[in-house]
Structures are given as C-alpha cells and as structure tokens.
Structure 1
Amino acid sequence: MSIYREYDIRGIFEKELNKESVTKIGYALASKISGKYVSVGYDARSHSPILFEYLVAGLNAGGKTVLGMGLVPTPVNYFTNYQEWDGITPSASIMITGSHNPSEYNGFKITVDKAPFFGEDIYALGEECEAMEMPKAVERDVIEIDAKSRYIDFMVDAFQHLKAMPTKIVYDCGNGVAGVVLPKIFERLQLHAKGIYVEPDGTFPNHHPDPSVEKNLVDIKALLEKEGDIAFAYDGDADRIAVLTHKNNIKGDMMALLYSMNMDKPTVVGEVKCSQVMYDELTRRGANAIMYKTGHSNLKVKMKEVNADLACEVSGHVFFKNRYFGYDDAIYATLRMLELLYEGIDLDGELAKLPQVFSTEEIKVETTEEQKFKIIEKVKELLKNPPADFPHIKDMIFVDGVRINFEKGWGLVRASNTTPVLVTRFESTDAQEAKRYEDAVNSLIEMAKKSL
C-alpha cells in the first residue's frame, strides 16, 4: 500500500520512510507553502528525530526555514500555527508521528494555512515525489522554539478556575507524548492527578497506545477502581482521548453531547459512525447537528465551512472551535471534561437520561484496496432493490459510504480511507433488531463481493 494516505503520509521507517523519500517529501511540500516558515515537531518514536533531520533537509532545500519544537503532542504542533514566535507566524506545520500504529511505523500530519493538507493534495504530492530527483543539500536552517511551554501556559491560564478542584483524576499516557505536557498542566493547576505510563517511549512497552481498544484500558480501569473519580487515556500523539467513569466508557459522540451542554444552540459536526441518539438529542436541545464524513481532516474542513462550535469522532477525536482553535486536542478535551465536573454536571447521570440503544463496535470486513470502493457502489445498487426479507428501509444517507435508516435503528457500511477494509456499525433500540440489521447488511456485502 502507498505511504500517501487520505489524511496523512504513513509508512515503515527505513523501508518506506528513509533519507531519500522524506527529503523529497520536504522539498515537494515546500513548494505548496506560501510563507517562509514551517513549524515541525515529532512524537516519541526512536526514529522521529532522524526523520526530522531528513524532512528539514528537504524543506530547507525548498527555501523554507524550520521552527523546530522537538518532542511534542500533535495538538502542540497545531497550536504553533496560531501563535507568533518572535514576530514569526508559521505558514504551515508538520507533525512527525506514527500516531497509534505499531512502533516501526511513522508518518506526517500536515497543516498548511491553518487547514489540513490531505486527500488529492497528498496523492498529487506522492506522484511528484516519485518523479523527482534527490534535491541538492543546502545549509541547515532551523530556529528552535519552545512551543511546549507556551502551550502549557495557555492551558493553565485558560483553566485557572479549575485550580485545586477536589476531583481525583487518574490518567494513562500509554508511553506516548501526552506525558510531556499533561503532568505539568495538572501540577500547575494543583489538581489531584495520578498518571501511569507517562514517560514517552516509542517502543510502547506497556500496551499499544490506542485508547479506543478495550484491552488497552485494563490498567487504567484498575487504577480508576482503586483511586479515581474519573480516568483519561490517550493515543500515541495525544489527539484522541478516552474518558472513563465508574459506570461508562464515554465514546466521542456521547462526549459531544456532554461538552455541548454549556454551549448556547451550538453547531455540532459528527461523523457517519456517531449514534443517532447524539443527533436526535442535539436537535431536541435546539442545536444544529450535521452528519459528515469520517476522518479528522474531513471534519476540520467541514467545521470551517459551517462555522461549527464542536465536532467529534466516535474514536475520541474531539474538535473545539468554541473558546479554542478548531483542531482535535485530547489535552484540551481533558480540561473541558473536568470543567463539566467542576460545574456540577453528573456525567453518568446525564448519560442515563438518554434513550438506551444497543450498538456494535466498529466491525471490519477484510477486502483489498482495489475492491473496497467497488463493493460500496455495488451495495448501494443492491439497496435500490433489496432482498424480500431485508429489514424495511426508511431512508439512506450517502455522505460517506451508506448509512441505512431502519424502523428501529441504522446500519453503516463504508470503505476505510486508510486500510483495505470495509467498516460497518449497527445500532438499534432493540438488541435483536441490531443483530438482524447486522446480518442483513453483511449478507448484502457478501452478495456485492461475489458479483464483482
């Protein structure tokens, strides 16, 4: 599979991301950036500082000066786009991160003019790099900036009102980069916080840094049980969050319902995997709820277009434009969740008031890069005239794959933009119906596969 993906560039260190490929990426990116300055940070993987030097060589060869911030979470990298550094405002930022991928992987998340650089732009960049000669080496041109301290100061100032709140907080950095800022923020706000796996270690010795997978939450759940009122867990680059109470593992769509409680008729963008409960409840409250494509880049673009206050993905990407800059930041989301507790909101109590639904986790159906979009098109075709025993269809939404609304719930089938799989999810007010929708849609997928 190509290293040039829908939302970022991602590949295996040395085998795919090496001196030649990364220098070319830096050089090609330089021509897409109008200003002179690009801020670059990296995650905890052992090869991230090496890739930094390769990328700098390419950006410098393309005429850019790099603002280097060293080891930081992805949101700190995004944050630099909204700050002046001795009179300099960067025109772009690049984060070197493998996110939650295995430790041999790395990659680049790119922002140009405060907007994600993704999709067709990344694919075209890939073609350019493959046709390119190795750029000529020039003198290294890097200005060091202390983005980390500026970010910590910003958070401490913005959440002064939480100082010394009595809530007992436990958290798991998963040996990712959340640990380079979070303990200091908690300490300066005099919060009662205890962290595990705080030390950045790109080999991820304790568990894989993906908080959307239940088995990675075993240790933090045990600590919550013994010592905490609330728990937080982070992915490898700290742009995704898990929030745990004694009763709930609060997914991104339910977080959005909680966060929007103290916003006045907000516009909230969700992805196609979000629960219908979220959309219905937001609408009931007078909010403007918009369903859009999955993917952090897609959601950022949509937020800007509709001037949204908040956006979310089920997986724990949460984007605040309300009082913030509109990108996904798990550290900021942590403090906004603590703020709800400070204001006396009972998280479990609020969730208990919502209609009960039975939903599956994301179910992945293996396929190939070549076949995945063809299967989706075939499924859409079959849905025009479904089998006689297929559950009654109320309507369908085609914003990303197809989301089928049934009498008592919905089913989703979409092609993943990053891996050779189809992603399905099902939800109903009735557990048996959810299973029925799952079986019916799966047999349709099988029919579509066989017909190709």
Structure 2
Amino acid sequence: MKHIFREYDIRGIFGTEINPSFTKALGFILGKIMLNKNAKSVSVGYDTRLSNKVLNNALIYGLNKAGIKVYSLGLVPTPLGYFSNYACKIDANIMITASHNPKEYNGFKITINKESFFATELANIYDEVALYLKDFDNKIEDTEYEELDIKTKYIEFLQKEFAHLKNANLNLAIDTASGAACKVVANILDTLNIKYAHYFSEFDGEFKAHEPDPTHEENLFAIKNELNFSDFRSPCPTPLYKNGYVKNTATLGFGFDGDADRVVCILKDKIIKGDELCYLFANDIKNPKILCEVKCSKIIFDKINELGTCTMCKTGHSNIKKVIKEQNIDLAAELSGHVFFNDKYYGYDDAIYSMLRIIELYLKNPDFIGVLNKLPKSYSSDEIKIKVKEEDKFNIINTYKEKIKSLNLNAKLIEIDGVRLEFENGFSLLRASNTSPYLVARFESISEEKLKEINDFTYKLLNEIIKN
C-alpha cells in the first residue's frame, strides 16, 4: 500500500489499494495533523468517479473522529476546493480525485493552511494510517458536516473578474470529458453569453466517451472535428450548441481533465502546449517572472529569459505552488496543461480560470500562431510514457543518472527531477512519473536528424539498463 503515497498526492486503484476503511483511517490521521497545524476546519469535495460518494462518506467519518469541522462541497472541480480556502476562509481542503487517471483509480489531494501537503510530510503518515486501519471497517456511516455551496461563490467571482468578456464575439469548442468541469464551465460561459459547442457535457464516472486526459491527442477528437482540423475527420456525437453557436464555427477549443485542474488549448491544426502558453502570456506581462517544469522546451526557457526570467522546477502541482509562493512568480505551467496564475489570482492550477485568461488574451491578440512562429524552429517529441513496474521506476532513473555521469558527455546535466541533458542543439529528459507506473521522456532539437540522435541515444542506454 505504501506506493500509493506519491510525491504530491495519494492515488491508487479503488477496491484493492484504496477502500473505505483505509479512507476512514486517512481522514482520522489527516484531521489530527490539521488540528496540530492550527487548521480547525476542512472542506471536502470529489469528482465524478463512481467510487467517490463511498469514499466521501468514509473520509468525513474519519475527519469527524479527529474532531475537526467539516464542510462538504459535493461534486466539484478540484480548483473549487482550493478556492474555498481563500473565499470562505476554510483552513484546509481534501479533494477526492484521481485527476486524469482511468476510471478504476481514485485518490486524495490535500491542502493545509493554503499549502500542499506532499512529499516527505505525505510519505511520513503511511505508518500511522496503516496502524489505525484495524480500528475502521468498510461500512457506510452517519457523518456530521455542513454543506457549502462553493460553486455559486466561484461563478460569482469569475463573473465579476471577467465581466468584460460578456457577449464576446467568439466561438468555442469545449470538451469537459464527462468530468467535474461539466456544469461549472457551462454555467460561466452561459453567464457571460459566449457561444460554444459543448462535448461530453454530462457527468459520467466511467468516462465512456474517452479517458479524462486531454494530453493524449486521441482524446481531443471531438474538438479537432469541431475546429475542422485539416487532417482529421471522425464520427462524433452531437454536442450541445449554446448561446447561438453555429456548428463548426469554432476558432478556439479547450479540453479538460477529470478534475479540471488542467486544460489544453487548441487552435485549428494546432494543439498549444503548456510551455507555449507561458510564452504567449510572457509576451503580455511586463518583465515577467515565469516558472516552467523540467519537461518544457529549452527554446521557451531561453526566449522568456530575454523578456524577463524563466525558472526551471520539478514537475508536479505541489512543487510548483511552493516555488510560486517562495519566488512570487507571475505565471507557471506544466507541459501537460496545469497553468498557475499568481498574477490577479491565487497561484494554483485552475483550468476554468485559465480558460478565461486564455480567452481574454486571444481577444486582445488572436494571432497566437504568429507569436509562436517567431520562436526558433525546433523539433520535439510529445511527452512519452514508458511502462515499467511501479517498484522499479526510481531505481531505473538512478541507474540511468549514474551511467550518464560516467560518460562525461558534452552536455549540461540537470538533476532537478530525473535526468535532463541540455546539448548545444537540444535536450533530453528522462524522469519517473510520480502518479503512475511510467517513466516519462521528452526530446527536443533544432533538426529532425539531431532529434533522432538524442532519442536513439536515450533509448539505447535505457534499454540496456532495463535489460540488466
């Protein structure tokens, strides 16, 4: 069970790795920790997964046993849990979600006193949770909590912040992946009277339409169809056409993950990566202070540093939020679509807020392609996931790192998160995923030939390590 305590959250398969008795013990331990940190209240919410109501009951029961005040948010996007800490002055938050993972997974994202509870602190509670497991069973319990309508407060906040977008002459394609964003995205776009086509707009904890991960291009088929991608046609269900939207007139699309803390922005024939979004916004911020994680483009780092500063950090929302506070960063992003606005917002990853900021920027200058085309020409891989055993992934990375050091390559070695090698003409990255049993690789270079060289070098070395 220890492996489900990951770097920045708890995540595992419901039934075998996460069940109600475990969740009760977890709630009890977390409640005690919160009280020890002088956090006297906690909000609890969950996404659309079928196991969530059972786990919600178990978590609140454990929190009740600890003696902490509980506010129930119900089914809401993860960012609304964070928002409750700011808008309602609630001291802590736990979101029951497995984010973009397949339907059989579930998990917990924990915030105490507006800071992520992660890394060593999270790992260190495993023994306590295991110790108390014997005191809890899998029964549904009577629980005590106060219901809190955070959705209304959140929509009112966005309506006020983005009042200037009302009646904007814009056509959007939206895919909320049957996840937690479905209703809130619709509510705010309806409130602002923006025209949009809404795909997979109803909650479905089985994610029958597609997995709730917009970073996999195959999951963006509906938006690509709606935007008339020149190389793509696919049978799609009929979406909801809202606020006067006319079929196939969209110029801008957004794909959300299961709990709405990350978003992918799509133009016709172009899927914009998280680091590219950072560059677009950096051009609109005076002397920008930007934060990008290790998977991001070397060219993006170099070009933002010409406009202001661009700092590199570890992957993961918890790591990024910590650095944002420490360095007073304006904007941060992961390649995978987590975007963190500290400029005019609270510095956490909120896909719905990010969508509205992107719309705002697009209306100011819709030539996103023109801005991105000013970057030096480069070739890059997508984020490549390499399946390995959960218990092996960090050992493989450590062995790979030692092998790289022994080769004395003409490259800069960055060990912030895994192994990033920066060559004169590009970079390679190999790191262990903190949420799944994968290694993650990414490559970039100034030519397709050099890209292949970097790719082949990495895989040759990696395959030797795995074989041995």
Give the TM-score category using the shorter length.
over 0.9
Structure 2 counterpart of 1:48: 52
Runs of 4+ in 1 over 6 A off after TM superposition: 136-139
Secondary structure (helix, strand or coil) at the match of 2:33 reads coil
Is 2:86 the partner of 1:82? Answer: yes
Selected match of 1:39 from 20, 43, 52: 43
Q: Which moved more, 1:355-364 or 1:207-216?
A: 355-364
Letter in 2 for 1:433: K
- Between the aligned residues of both structures, percent identity stands at 42
1:244-276 Cα offsets, whole Å, 9 max, x none, are 101310010001111222212121111110001
Q: Aligned runs of 1:186-201 on 2, under 5 Å?
A: 186-201=189-204
Secondary structure (helix, strand or coil) at the match of 1:181 reads helix
Q: Is the 8 A contact 2:21 2:136 kept in 1?
A: no
Letter in 1 for 2:120: E
Structure 1 counterpart of 2:283: 261
**Taking structure 1 as reference, are residues 83 and 161 closer, same or farther at Cα in structure 2, changes over 3 Å only?**
same
1:404-447 Cα offsets, whole Å, 9 max, x none, are 11121011111222233322111001111011011112222233
Q: Aligned runs of 1:320-335 on 2, under 5 Å?
A: 320-335=341-356
Deviation at 1:162, TM superposition (A): 0.9
Q: Which moved more, 1:365-374 or 1:139-148?
A: 365-374
Q: Aligned runs of 1:301-312 on 2, under 5 Å?
A: 301-312=322-333
**Taking structure 1 as reference, are residues 371 and 208 closer, same or farther at Cα in structure 2, changes over 3 Å only?**
closer
Structure 2 counterpart of 1:223: 226
Structure 2 counterpart of 1:394: 411
Paired residues, number:
442
1:129-159 Cα offsets, whole Å, 9 max, x none, are 1011426999732111110000001111000
Structure 1 counterpart of 2:234: none
Q: Aligned runs of 1:236-385 on 2, under 5 Å?
A: 236-285=258-307, 287-385=308-406
Structure 2 counterpart of 1:59: 63
- Give the whole-Å Cα distance in 2 for the aligned partners of 1:418 and 1:93: 20
**Taking structure 1 as reference, are residues 366 and 15 closer, same or farther at Cα in structure 2, changes over 3 Å only?**
closer
**Taking structure 1 as reference, are residues 90 and 371 closer, same or farther at Cα in structure 2, changes over 3 Å only?**
same
Deviation at 1:39, TM superposition (A): 0.4
- Give the whole-Å Cα distance in 2 for the aligned partners of 1:421 and 1:46: 25
Q: Is the 8 A contact 2:11 2:435 kept in 1?
A: no
- Give the whole-Å Cα distance in 1 for the aligned partners of 2:416 and 2:358: 30
Letter in 2 for 1:78: Y
Structure 2 counterpart of 1:108: 108
Q: Is the 8 A contact 1:247 1:348 kept in 2?
A: no
**Taking structure 1 as reference, are residues 151 and 378 closer, same or farther at Cα in structure 2, changes over 3 Å only?**
same
Structure 2 counterpart of 1:119: 119
1:89-140 Cα offsets, whole Å, 9 max, x none, are 2110011112122212211111111011111222222211101142699973
- Give the whole-Å Cα distance in 1 for the aligned partners of 2:210 and 2:406: 46
Deviation at 1:74, TM superposition (A): 0.5
1:333-391 Cα offsets, whole Å, 9 max, x none, are 1000100122134111111111121101122333334433233232222223428xxxx
Letter in 2 for 1:408: N
**Taking structure 1 as reference, are residues 139 and 202 closer, same or farther at Cα in structure 2, changes over 3 Å only?**
closer
- Give the whole-Å Cα distance in 2 for the aligned partners of 1:368 and 1:15: 17
Selected match of 1:210 from 204, 213, 219: 213
Structure 1 counterpart of 2:235: none
Q: Is the 8 A contact 1:61 1:135 kept in 2?
A: no
Unaligned runs of 5+ in 1: none
Root-mean-square deviation over aligned CA pairs: 1.8
1:203-233 Cα offsets, whole Å, 9 max, x none, are 1121111100011011111012222010111
- Give the whole-Å Cα distance in 2 for the aligned partners of 1:193 and 1:19: 40
1:6-25 Cα offsets, whole Å, 9 max, x none, are 21112222333222111000
Is 2:36 the partner of 1:14? Answer: no
Is 2:439 the partner of 1:418? Answer: no
- Give the whole-Å Cα distance in 2 for the aligned partners of 1:71 and 1:338: 26
Q: Which moved more, 1:369-378 or 1:347-356?
A: 369-378
Letter in 1 for 2:402: E
Deviation at 1:296, TM superposition (A): 1.1
- Give the whole-Å Cα distance in 2 for the aligned partners of 1:140 and 1:369: 35
Structure 2 counterpart of 1:409: 426
Q: Which moved more, 1:135-144 or 1:216-225?
A: 135-144
Q: Which moved more, 1:116-125 or 1:359-368?
A: 359-368
Secondary structure (helix, strand or coil) at the match of 2:100 reads coil
Q: Is the 8 A contact 1:23 1:56 kept in 2?
A: yes
Secondary structure (helix, strand or coil) at the match of 2:311 reads strand
- Give the whole-Å Cα distance in 1 for the aligned partners of 2:50 and 2:434: 27
Is 2:144 the partner of 1:141? Answer: yes
- Give the whole-Å Cα distance in 2 for the aligned partners of 1:90 and 1:293: 28
Structure 1 counterpart of 2:96: 96
Taking structure 1 as the reference length, the TM-score comes to 0.94
Q: Is the 8 A contact 1:60 1:139 kept in 2?
A: no
Q: Is the 8 A contact 1:48 1:96 kept in 2?
A: yes
Letter in 1 for 2:339: V
Secondary structure (helix, strand or coil) at the match of 2:181 reads helix
- Give the whole-Å Cα distance in 2 for the aligned partners of 1:23 and 1:110: 15
Q: Is the 8 A contact 2:39 2:112 kept in 1?
A: no
- Give the whole-Å Cα distance in 1 for the aligned partners of 2:384 and 2:82: 31
- Give the whole-Å Cα distance in 2 for the aligned partners of 1:220 and 1:123: 39
Secondary structure (helix, strand or coil) at the match of 2:421 reads strand
- Give the whole-Å Cα distance in 1 for the aligned partners of 2:19 and 2:461: 42
